[in-house]
Amino acid sequence: MGSAFDRTAASLDTSMPGVRQLQAWIRSKQVLGLQLNGGSQLEGSLLWQDLEFYAIRQGPDAAPVLVRRDCVAVLRPLD
pLDDT tens track for 12-51: 898 999 999 999 999 999 999 999 999 999 999 999 999 9
* Domain at 24, CATH number: 2.30.30.100
37 is a domain residue: yes
5 is a domain residue: no
31 is a domain residue: yes
| Helix (H/G/I), strand (E/B), else coil: 54 | strand
Task: Give the whole-angstrom CA distance, residue 70 versus residue 64.
Answer: 18
| Percentage of the chain modeled with pLDDT above 70 | 89
Query: Given 3-state DSSP classes, what are the helix, strand and coil percentages for the chain, each rounded to the nearest 5?
Result: 25, 40, 40
Give the residue numbers spanning the domain of 64.
Answer: 15-77
The tally of domains found in the chain comes to: 1
What pLDDT score was predicted for residue 2?
57
Contact residues for 75 (Cβ-Cβ < 8 A; gap 6+) = 22, 32, 33, 34, 35, 54
29 is a domain residue: yes
10 is a domain residue: no
